[in-house]
Structure 1
Amino acid sequence: MAKYHVLIPSAGHGARMQSVTPKQYLMLNGKPLLRHAIDVFEAMPEITGITIVIADKDPYWKPALLNQCHKTRVVSVGGETRATSVLNGLNAIATSVNADDWILVHDAARPGIDQAMIDRLINAISDKDVGAILALPLADTLKRADANALINETIPREKLWQAQTPQIFRHSELQQALTTHLQRHPTDEAQAMEWMGHQPKLVLGDLKNMKITYPQDLTVVAALIQASLINTKTLSLSDTGNL
């Protein structure tokens, strides 16, 4: 039976954050962004192992970041691009996973992921599927600009989705896709799979699973996570009152 493994590329810096410290190590609600995602996956019995891909000689990595973690390991094989880091990570774990095991690739800068989203993603795929990604249908009108930041075109938003992570694919198929198309610089795993002729599923994500890109995103995601915790506690109390 295929197992589930998590791969978190964490070798980038995130220049748009305007921070000396790489964004995956910035603090949010008392712990680094990266640790938020690790804690969610660590708590799920379905997840067999978690691999963090960091840059070689990463000066910001501290072993203490994995205190109390039991399924997580670190490999220092990060590359110049996200796709390279993911491929290097897949190669690093190749001897400890089966070819048909599922790999959930998740962004280190998405601390709002939760078990409900991961369950939704895992439950959406069957043995016949190539894989799936979390995503959100676009709500805003899209504009294409010219070189002078003038509107060139309005793009219909129907059937357009904003990709999130995790993105889940079988180890051997994702490894082959990234190896084949690495020089085309895929922006996510799904694109590499698409170039192989596959059609991954779209599974509903969540707004709080947004990627931290700009400094103000930290405040937004912190508020969304806090609101989600309050809603969860409210529902729990409501259920208790109905007993």
Structure 2
Amino acid sequence: MNKVRYWAVVPAAGVGRRMNVDIPKQYLEIKGKPLIEHTLGRLLDFPHLERIVVVLDREDEYHQSIELMRNARIQLAEGGDERYHSVLSGLRVLLDMADPNDWVLVHDVARPCIRRSDLDWLVNQLHEHPVGGLLGSPVTDTIKKAGSDDVVSETVDRQGLWHAMTPQMFRLGMLHDAMAKAIADKMPVTDEASAIEYSGKQPVMVEGHADNIKVTRGTDLALASLYIEQQSKLIEVS
């Protein structure tokens, strides 16, 4: 029996409209280098990954100036109109080089603070699981539900609620088929786990650190910079 291997897909074809900037947010700088370089550097430092498929917009020219993108373990693929199209494109590339039973970790390019310890923990917790799962953090805030007029209709019980993060780790063949079916059925696929759920399977939540934030707005850049600096100090101490 062949050894199960690990691969990654990083959808990076978005344009970051909510950032109100002229370039895609993955190329904005954090501590002197592009966000995407931080994210890919974290993944490249994770030795379990055979290869990382980075899915870019077909007209993306910014990546050409980033030396890290020429790393032998990085392969480029062309993205689609929505994130889920880009993920499916990356999965199709992997099917040409990987076994359907291999694991694939899908990670947001806009999460540059992912910790090595969380990657280790995710793989440790899921490597023998029949389905897979995702990093997340339990909801600790009070959650309100409001209508279209922003008037609160109820306070939601937070017991069992999680903030979903990435990476999300599933068997390559299973995830490919689940994503393809959900897209064909025009189901809203906000993350990989939702496609797996739609296929009738149940992913596992794996608790990770809350500093694995997604850079969505301008203020998130400063917060990500702070977290990266704090994490580097932790490494120096250890």
TM-score over 0.5 (shorter chain): yes
**Residues of 1 paired with 2:50 and 2:136: CA distance?**
24
Give the CA RMSD over aligned residues.
1.4
SS at match of 2:62: coil
Determine if contact 1:132/1:202 at 8 Å carries over to the other structure.
Answer: yes
| Cα shift at 1:83 | 0.7
Residue identity matched to 1:133 = L
Structure 2: gaps (5+ residues):
none
Q: Cα deviations across residues 113-171 of structure 1 (Å, max 9, x unaligned)? A: 12111000000013342011000001111111122211111111111000000000111
Residue identity matched to 1:201 = V
**Alignment partner, residue 28 of structure 1:** 30
- Mark the CA change 1:91 to 1:67 in structure 2 (over 3 Å): closer, same or farther: closer
**Alignment partner, residue 190 of structure 2:** 187
Determine if contact 2:18/2:216 at 8 Å carries over to the other structure.
Answer: yes
**Residues of 1 paired with 2:74 and 2:157: CA distance?**
42
Please identify runs of 4+ aligned residues in structure 1 that moved more than 3 A.
none
Residue identity matched to 2:16 = G
Residue identity matched to 2:132 = G
**Residues of 1 paired with 2:23 and 2:229: CA distance?**
24
Alignment of 1:86-101 (within 5 A): 86-101=87-102
**Alignment partner, residue 81 of structure 2:** 80
Alignment of 1:14-53 (within 5 A): 14-53=16-55
SS at match of 1:207: coil
SS at match of 1:218: helix
- Mark the CA change 1:80 to 1:67 in structure 2 (over 3 Å): closer, same or farther: closer
Name the TM-score, length of structure 2 as normaliser: 0.94
**Alignment partner, residue 202 of structure 1:** 205
- Mark the CA change 1:13 to 1:65 in structure 2 (over 3 Å): closer, same or farther: farther
| Cα shift at 1:231 | 2.5
**Alignment partner, residue 214 of structure 2:** 211
- Mark the CA change 1:225 to 1:212 in structure 2 (over 3 Å): closer, same or farther: same
**Residues of 1 paired with 2:89 and 2:70: CA distance?**
26
| Cα shift at 1:27 | 0.7
Determine if contact 1:37/1:113 at 8 Å carries over to the other structure.
Answer: yes
Identity of aligned residues (%): 35
| Cα shift at 1:68 | 6.6
**Alignment partner, residue 73 of structure 2:** 71
100-109 vs 218-227, which moves further: 218-227
Count how many residue pairs are aligned between Structure 1 and Structure 2. 234
**Alignment partner, residue 15 of structure 2:** 13
Determine if contact 1:83/1:185 at 8 Å carries over to the other structure.
Answer: no
